[in-house]
Amino acid sequence: MARAMDGADAVVHLAAKVSVSGPWAEYEEVNVRGTRVMVEMAKRAGIRDYVQISSPSVSHAGSAFMGQPNLTADPDHARGNYARSKAYGELLALEADGEDFRVGVIRPHLVWGPGTPSWWSGIMERASRGGIPLLDAGAALIDTTYVDNAATAIVRCLERLETVHGRPLGGDQRGAAHGGRADGGDVPGRRGARPHPAGPGVAGEAGRPGHREGLGEAPRRG
């Protein structure tokens, strides 16, 4: 890592153990200790700009947070070893933030695109067959992030670290509805589906002032 950082202007830390299961020690080694090592080595290399790729799950305690601002990472209440370890990692990175070492944090959710791992295509295939239970009568919303938008957000964060460092950004993905609303009605493909009221088309609407002003760009559809 020291060789990789030699002469670099910035560090973007994306490496992580990502899974829904597994022993805590594995998550701690990669997502907590790994972040600590990356921060220390970046500072030692004289790098000023550092971006930590985190997750919305770091502040998720079990209830939906549609339309809410980014809350502080909370490892004590995060659900599961992945979320808890990412929360610790985010806090470690932000603790190092200062004028001489500017730390930005981005929380993309379910990044997808060309080359997406097979687990994602498996989810889509099961969903098309009606093999995935739908929560809240199918009205529950989960935002995703197209890889091009995630990459653009990272670049914009680096370009604007003077403005956005020291606080997390994320959760404002724009869905295909482009800020529209989900029509009320039956959820197709489910026995006994209940009508649900109309609601927001995405869990976090794109373009909340803090994110547009911070990164200088609204999310785009592919």
In angstroms, rounded to a whole number, what is the distance separating the alpha carbons of residues 201 and 181?
A: 4
At 168-195, the pLDDT tens digits run: 886 543 333 333 344 444 444 444 444 4
Task: Give burial (CB, 10 Å; 0-12/13-18/19+) of 58.
Answer: buried
pLDDT of residue 211: 52
Indicate the domain borders of the chain.
2-169
At 123-133, the pLDDT tens digits run: 778 888 887 77
Which strand ranges, in their side-by-side order, compose the sheet holding 10-13? 10-13, 49-53, 102-107, 168-170
Asked whether residue 163 carries a pLDDT value surpassing 50, the answer given is yes
Higher pLDDT, residue 151 or 199: 151
Residue 67 binned pLDDT confidence (cut-offs 50, 70, 90): low
Q: Which residue has the tokens 């803090």?
A: 210
pLDDT of residue 16: 94
Tell me which CATH code domain 2-169 carries. Answer: 3.40.50.720
Q: Average the pLDDT over 106-124 and give the result.
A: 82
Least confident of 16-30, 95-109, 205-219: 205-219
pLDDT of residue 115: 82
In angstroms, rounded to a whole number, what is the distance separating the alpha carbons of residues 16 and 85?
A: 10
Residue 214 binned pLDDT confidence (cut-offs 50, 70, 90): low
Residue 169, phi then psi, degrees to nearest 5: -125, 145
Which of 59, 204, 81 shows the shortest CA–CA distance to 144?
Answer: 204
Asked whether residue 212 carries a pLDDT value surpassing 90, the answer given is no
Q: Which tokens sit at 128?
A: 């098309």
Total-model pTM: 0.74
What is the per-residue DSSP string for the chain? -HHHHTT-SEEEE------S-S-HHHHIIIIIIHHHHHHHHHHHTT--EEEEE--GGGG--SS--TTPPPPPP-TTT-SHHHHHHHHHHHHHHHHT-SSSSEEEEEE--SEESTT--HHHHHHHHHHHTT-SPPGGGGT-----EEHHHHHHHHHHHHHTHHHHTTSEEE-----TTSS-EEPPBPPTT-TTPPPB--EESSSS-TT-HHHHHHHS------
Which of 142, 152, 160, 163 shows the shortest CA–CA distance to 218?
Answer: 152
Residue 151 binned pLDDT confidence (cut-offs 50, 70, 90): very high
Least confident of 4-18, 75-89, 106-120, 150-164: 106-120
